[in-house]
Amino acid sequence: MQKVLGGCKLCGKPMQTNRSPLIHRTCDACKDEQLRQSNRRLTVRRKAKRHAIKAALKPPQCQRCGKAIEGAHMLTPNGQWVRKFCGTRCRQAAFQARNVPGRRLRPDMLTSEQALETAKAVAQAERDKAP
Ligand SMILES: [Zn+2]
Ligand SMILES: [Zn+2]
């Protein structure tokens, strides 16, 4: 082991090398800093991209009543709005519309499958309420 001439490439901190002392090396602290910087740049770039996608899209409309959805600021990675309905009422109405045939058959009985679906819808509605 010998000393790297000039030390760390970036901060000049003395470094050891098992190769030529002329090969410049970067110390761990500087490497960490480089990683942090590149992560930060990546985050900024991703954020800008997200904003550009959002700006290019029209505000989402409720799939049931067509009203613009307020507070729909979230996008999934494929550019879809997270929210499809303006509120719990439209979501439930759409859910019920999809499930009418099953309900007509046995209006007074809730099968375990339907109970499960209802529970899922309620859970989804709860998630929708959260910001
Ligand atoms: Zn350094
Ligand atoms: Zn609606």
User: Considering the domain boundaries, does residue 8 fall inside one?
Assistant: no
- Evaluate if residue 27 carries a pLDDT over 90: yes
**How many Å lie between the centroid of ligand 2 and the Cα of residue 97?**
14
Enclosing domain of residue 107: 59-131
**How many Å lie between the centroid of ligand 2 and the Cα of residue 74?**
17
User: Considering the domain boundaries, does residue 78 fall inside one?
Assistant: yes
72 vs 47: CA distance, rounded Å: 17
User: Considering the domain boundaries, does residue 124 fall inside one?
Assistant: yes
Q: Regarding predicted confidence, which is higher, 45 or 130?
A: 45
User: Considering the domain boundaries, does residue 15 fall inside one?
Assistant: no
- Evaluate if residue 101 carries a pLDDT over 70: no
User: Considering the domain boundaries, does residue 11 fall inside one?
Assistant: no
**How many Å lie between the centroid of ligand 1 and the Cα of residue 101?**
69
User: Considering the domain boundaries, does residue 25 fall inside one?
Assistant: no
User: Considering the domain boundaries, does residue 47 fall inside one?
Assistant: no
Tally of domains within the chain: 1
**How many Å lie between the centroid of ligand 2 and the Cα of residue 40?**
38
User: Considering the domain boundaries, does residue 17 fall inside one?
Assistant: no
Largest CA distance in the chain: 85
| Ligand number with the minimum distance to the CA of 7 | 1
The backbone region for 89, taken as left when phi is positive above 0, alpha when psi lies in -120 to 50, beta otherwise, is alpha
